[in-house]
Chain A
Amino acid sequence: MVENRPWLTFLSHAVLLLGVLAVAFPLYVTFVASTLSLEQIMQAPMPLWPGDQLVENYSQVLTAGSTKGSKAAASSMLVNSLVMALVIPLGKIAISVISAFAIVYFRFPLRMFFFWMIFVTLMLPVEVRIIPTFKVIADLGMLNTYAGLTVPLIASATATFLFRQFFMTIPDELAEAARVDGASPMRFFVDVLLPLSKTTMAALFVIQFIYGWNQYLWPLLITTDESMYTTVIGIKRMIVGSDAANEWNLIMATAILAMLPPALVVMLMQKWFVKGLVETEK
């Protein structure tokens, strides 16, 4: 639609700019706060121009953590977060793509029953089953371990469903052609299905990376050891008691650090991500 109404253009841009401001301003304040000293933050109003404590604040959180509350260094927390945010999507993709392959390409007894069983777990997110899951993990001695952090979150009905839908759009003739060519089912899976699912996997990876990175409730429950804190939990643990007692400059620096990796993943994988959601290479 081509329209030329200057006022409408002005109005729509004004609304968009307001929206951008509403999103960007808090981020800006976070960044500014991470470059100030604690005294500067405590002034009212807080300065809105970056201060000179950038290097000091960031090196403090990266190497030593805050002096009050949690003493975990942001660097080790970032590693923990990274492990969690990588193992969850990779595990999810590996398991879902295999189970979707089984459901779509093999005819075994109770196939649809198992599919619906997987599908029903959509209704049971971590929050709903958190107490029994915690009990199981605790009994298995997996508290404060990477396995405990990731395994309960790996099974995914959404990803299985996504791959199933994708596989169903692949023409049957392709599987038949592979059969005539002499490819065994696993060979077909590895040589044909996996390469075709690349973009879907990339999209899923981005979504699940962020999902894993942003996990809050589950790591909050099962990590009690500071060395196992993830970044998101670390921020929470750095906040102790009343407003004035907290080292907001360090907390804000950690928050900025926590925001960077997901942003980076989205930016680097944006092309793949969009491709995976809108286009299928068939």
Chain B
Amino acid sequence: MAGLSLRDVRKSYTPELQVIHGVSMEIKDGEFIVILGPSGCGKSTLLRMVAGLETITAGEIAIGDRVVNNLEPKDRDIAMVFQNYALYPHMSVYDNMAYGLRIRGLSRAEIETRVQKAAAILELARFLQRRPRELSGGQRQRVAMGRAIVREPQVFLFDEPLSNLDAKLRVQMRGELQALHRRLGTTSLFVTHDQVEAMTLAQRMIVMNGGRAEQIGAPLEVYAKPATTFVASFIGSPPMNLIPRNGKLLGVRPEHLEPCAASDAMLTIDVDLIEPLGADIIVYGHEGKPGGDDSSARIAARLPADAQAHAGKLPLRYAPANLHWYDPASGKRIEP
């Protein structure tokens, strides 16, 4: 196994159209890294550059201490799991997993052992003779992972592998992925647009926007101290409230707002939408005068489930420790 280094990696299709603007990161051996970002931010492109499916315009990608910029995917010692699984439809589950090994010229016995082992880990042993179309979505997903596992690669690459599954299965597979990583300890790079997946799976994550890494860090650290307004508004549901104050942006998460007496109010919102979620209630409203001035910031607050939520004025307060400040022009965090 090996670490992975990205050194100022850039990608452009034409001189004008640059899609990755220099991403650098050192990934330690065995780390599980999630690349998170909205669609079109370049996260899949970055992953495909690591895989060798896209060329690298500038910079360096190294797996272990081997620079792989000019190596074919098969020579990079990686395995990839695709969003739509990309299983060979005409091959059985066994053959799907064995195909790459056969090309590598492994012996029959060796292939058999590896496939059986992967099938046992993924609970696929009963399905080895089936075709992919006879399997459910979750099972296909497992076969795709099995195909990656049998290769015993240095790095696993996952390209939104869970986004084709329904919500319940996604939660289950998330758990299995975590368990799998704990068991195999292979360096993994996982692309997703789903912040819950990122928060739960990542040891560290890269939040990307417009081809730039906005922030790299452990999930809770990113959540607690978003480096830019983009990260602040991308992570958290509902996202962090950004309220203009004295030429700066004041950021405060919805769960850090609590209702209070009108005399203590640090912030009063005019509630116009209430979403009871069972565990808690989320209220939305505009700050400012009744009737609403549309230019004022829209604010969400997470209230306890037993709160009396109703439309109209709602005085709120917050603890100063939970505040974040941003520069409105650059979007960068201002440390107090």
Binding site for B on A (CB under 8 A): 171, 173-174, 176-183, 187, 191-192, 195-196, 281-282
List the B residue with the shortest CB-CB distance to A280: B89
Q: How far is the CB of A192 from chain B (nearest CB, A)?
A: 6
Instruction: Determine the chain B residues whose CB is within 8 A of the CB of A179 once the complex forms.
Output: 52-53, 72-74
Q: Mark B89-112, 1 if CB is under 8 A from A, else 0.
A: 110000000011001100000000
Q: How far is the CB of B20 from chain A (nearest CB, A)?
A: 18
- Asked whether any CB of chain A lies closer than 8 Å to the CB of B139, the reply is no
Q: How far is the CB of B333 from chain A (nearest CB, A)?
A: 38
List the A residue with the shortest CB-CB distance to B73: A180
Interface pair B89/A173, CB less than 8 Å apart: no
- Asked whether any CB of chain A lies closer than 8 Å to the CB of B86, the reply is yes
Interface pair A171/B73, CB less than 8 Å apart: no
Instruction: Determine the chain B residues whose CB is within 8 A of the CB of A178 once the complex forms.
Output: 88, 99
Instruction: Determine the chain A residues whose CB is within 8 A of the CB of B104 once the complex forms.
Output: 182
Q: Of B59-67, B76-84, B302-310, which stretch is located at the interface?
A: B76-84
List the A residue with the shortest CB-CB distance to B90: A195
CA distance A159 to B83 in the complex (A): 32
Instruction: Determine the chain B residues whose CB is within 8 A of the CB of A195 once the complex forms.
Output: 90
Q: How many B residues touch A, CB cutoff 8 Å? A: 23
- Asked whether any CB of chain A lies closer than 8 Å to the CB of B51, the reply is yes
Interface pair B51/A180, CB less than 8 Å apart: yes
Q: If the complex has contacts A187-B103, A191-B99, are A176 and B90 also in contact, measured as CB distance less than 8 A?
A: no
Interface pair A196/B90, CB less than 8 Å apart: yes
| Interface pairs A-B: 5 shortest CB-CB | A182-B74, A181-B100, A173-B86, A177-B86, A195-B90
CA distance A224 to B90 in the complex (A): 48
Instruction: Determine the chain B residues whose CB is within 8 A of the CB of A187 once the complex forms.
Output: 103
CA distance A9 to B320 in the complex (A): 82
List the B residue with the shortest CB-CB distance to A174: B86
List the B residue with the shortest CB-CB distance to A192: B88
CA distance A281 to B99 in the complex (A): 19
- Contact partner of A180 (CB less than 8 A), chosen from B78, B88, B90, B133, is B78
- Contact partner of A181 (CB less than 8 A), chosen from B52, B53, B83, B103, is B103
Which residues of B119-149 have CB atoms within 8 Å of chain A's CB atoms?
133, 147
Q: How far is the CB of B330 from chain A (nearest CB, A)?
A: 38
Instruction: Determine the chain A residues whose CB is within 8 A of the CB of B79 once the complex forms.
Output: 180
Instruction: Determine the chain A residues whose CB is within 8 A of the CB of B86 once the complex forms.
Output: 171, 173-174, 176-177
Q: How far is the CB of B110 from chain A (nearest CB, A)?
A: 16
Instruction: Determine the chain A residues whose CB is within 8 A of the CB of B99 once the complex forms.
Output: 178, 181, 183, 191
Given contacts A178-B99, A181-B103, A182-B103, 19 further A-B contacts (CB under 8 A): A173-B82, A173-B83, A173-B84, A176-B53, A177-B82, A177-B147, A178-B88, A179-B74, A180-B52, A180-B53, A180-B80, A181-B147, A182-B73, A182-B100, A182-B104, A183-B99, A192-B88, A195-B90, A196-B89
CA distance A97 to B87 in the complex (A): 22
Instruction: Determine the chain A residues whose CB is within 8 A of the CB of B100 once the complex forms.
Output: 180-182
Instruction: Determine the chain A residues whose CB is within 8 A of the CB of B52 once the complex forms.
Output: 179-180
CA distance A200 to B78 in the complex (A): 34
Q: How far is the CB of B13 from chain A (nearest CB, A)?
A: 14
- Most chain-B Cβ atoms within 10 A of its Cβ — which of A179, A180, A181, A196? A180
Instruction: Determine the chain B residues whose CB is within 8 A of the CB of A176 once the complex forms.
Output: 51, 53, 73, 80, 82, 86
CA distance A241 to B87 in the complex (A): 65
Q: How far is the CB of B144 from chain A (nearest CB, A)?
A: 9
Q: If the complex has contacts A180-B80, A187-B103, are A281 and B133 also in contact, measured as CB distance less than 8 A?
A: yes
List the A residue with the shortest CB-CB distance to B53: A176
Instruction: Determine the chain A residues whose CB is within 8 A of the CB of B73 once the complex forms.
Output: 176, 179-180, 182
CA distance A193 to B80 in the complex (A): 20
Q: How far is the CB of A157 from chain B (nearest CB, A)?
A: 27
List the B residue with the shortest CB-CB distance to A181: B100
Q: How far is the CB of A224 from chain B (nearest CB, A)?
A: 47
CA distance A159 to B100 in the complex (A): 31
Instruction: Determine the chain A residues whose CB is within 8 A of the CB of B88 once the complex forms.
Output: 174, 177-178, 191-192
Instruction: Determine the chain A residues whose CB is within 8 A of the CB of B147 once the complex forms.
Output: 177, 181
Instruction: Determine the chain B residues whose CB is within 8 A of the CB of A191 once the complex forms.
Output: 88, 99
Interface pair A281/B82, CB less than 8 Å apart: no
- Of the A-B pairs whose beta carbons lie under 8 Å apart in the complex, a sample of 10, sorted by A's number, is A171-B86, A173-B84, A176-B73, A176-B86, A177-B86, A178-B99, A180-B53, A182-B104, A191-B88, A191-B99
Q: How far is the CB of A74 from chain B (nearest CB, A)?
A: 41
